[in-house]
Amino acid sequence: MHNISITQTKNNKQKPKDEALVFGRQFTDHMFLMDYKEGEGWYDARIVPYQPLEMDPAAMIFHYGQTVFEGLKAYRTKDDTIQLFRPEENVKRLNRSNARMCIPEVDEDIALEAIKTLVDLDRDWVPHKEGTSLYIRPFVIATEPYLGVSASKTYTFMIILSPVGAYYDAGIDPVKIAVENDYIRAVKGGTGEAKTAGNYAGSMIAQENVAKKGYAQVLWLDGHEKKYIEEVGSMNVFFKIDGKVITPHLSGSILPGVTRKSVIQLLMDWGIEVQERPILLSEVLTAHANGLLEEAFGSGTAAVISPIGELFYNETSYVINNHQTGALSKRVYDTLTGIQYGTIVDPHDWIVKVNPK
């Protein structure tokens, strides 16, 4: 046990109705904070009422974007157990992102305990309705007031919680994705495999452009040749071609998704051939032309499993599985969410219960 002080709110907020939940717009009663100072390390782990921060306008986060974040969820089971899905994976990735962004490591045990303690305190905020959950957003920001470009000497690690519904307006129906031909997201050696704000800030222009045309997100191509498939806006991507499943390998420029890793494991459990390797866009389009592109889906914590019903590239639409959710996408979705919500057995010890009663 670590020392996390808790100051409870005197004014519990009104909770949104489960039916009205969207993604990421409402926040719970409490938040976690812990500070860092060079020479002292991390100190003052505390949970306080959810509130705005007072920040120095010169804090380095505002100027140079030295920050990382994570995303995971807490789920309510039928018997009102609150449980997390592979939280230690998120904490490990947080530290890999920290290393890339010159942010000091956070003690993984403290981070996990902070997540569990905060979720436990706000457990009434975990919604009940199918498909809803409590999204957990740990993040670190550079707080030193300094305009020189160098790593900050002070940081704050925070966790906030948001009760959420589906990430996409389409819910779990297939989404339409446009292949991005002008902008790139990341290159090997850049920050693409770190979960850092700049990757998302740099992607917004492409996202805005395709949203105007009715596409949910963009499919990023590699930054060198614009030939290889990397990932979708907030998801990793899988294709089922001629009975086999392929997904881009972790090349150094794509996000190592926890859901991606879990999907690969499930496919292997089922004896389905899954290949992690470079994938040419042309390979997918040729498979489509030959009638061999059976399914495509994205995976992510926020997006869960999101079938892709259409790819748009060079003014041409490529409809996949007649805009329907394919059998494999459904099986992956049902199994993953079944494990997360405790309706099916967790074969890999992925679930961590929060203060079981």
Q: Which residues bind ligand COI (CB under 6 A)?
A: 71, 200, 234, 300-302
Report in angstroms how near the CB of residue 239 gets to ligand COI at its nearest: 20
| Nearer CB in complex with ligand COI: 234/321 | 234
Cα–Cα dist 308/172, whole Å: 10
What are the residues whose beta carbons fall under 8 Å from the beta carbon of 228, sequence distance 6 or more? Answer: 221, 222, 248, 278, 279, 280, 281
Cα–Cα dist 87/121, whole Å: 17
Report in angstroms how near the CB of residue 301 gets to ligand COI at its nearest: 3
Cα–Cα dist 220/180, whole Å: 6
| Nearer CB in complex with ligand COI: 192/300 | 300
User: Could you identify the residue written with the tokens 């100072």?
Assistant: 37
Phi then psi for residue 188, to 5 deg, are -55, 135
| Nearer CB in complex with ligand COI: 117/301 | 301
| Nearer CB in complex with ligand COI: 29/231 | 231
Cα–Cα dist 196/65, whole Å: 8
Helix (H, G, I), strand (E, B) or coil at 289: helix
Report in angstroms how near the CB of residue 69 gets to ligand COI at its nearest: 7
DSSP class of residue 14 equals P
Tell me how far CA of residue 165 lies from CA of 12, 119, 225, 250, in angstroms.
21, 17, 37, 29
Number of DSSP helices (H) and strands (E) in the chain, helices first: 8, 18
Report in angstroms how near the CB of residue 195 gets to ligand COI at its nearest: 7
| Nearer CB in complex with ligand COI: 146/200 | 200
The angle, 0 to 180 degrees and rounded to 10, between the axes of the packed helices 258-269 and 327-340 is 110
Q: Which residue is nearest to ligand COI (CB)?
A: 71
| Nearer CB in complex with ligand COI: 166/178 | 166
Cα–Cα dist 81/347, whole Å: 18
Side-chain-side CA neighbours of 26 within 13 Å: the count stands at 19
Report in angstroms how near the CB of residue 27 gets to ligand COI at its nearest: 15
| Nearer CB in complex with ligand COI: 234/325 | 234
| Nearer CB in complex with ligand COI: 20/204 | 204
Paired tokens of 350:
């992925």
Encoded amino acid at 330, one letter: K
355 neighbors 116 (Cβ within 8 angstroms): yes
Report in angstroms how near the CB of residue 167 gets to ligand COI at its nearest: 7
| Nearer CB in complex with ligand COI: 24/49 | 24
What are the residues whose beta carbons fall under 8 Å from the beta carbon of 256, sequence distance 6 or more? Answer: 93, 96, 193, 250
Q: What is the dihedral of CA 186, 187, 188, 193, to 10 degrees?
A: 0
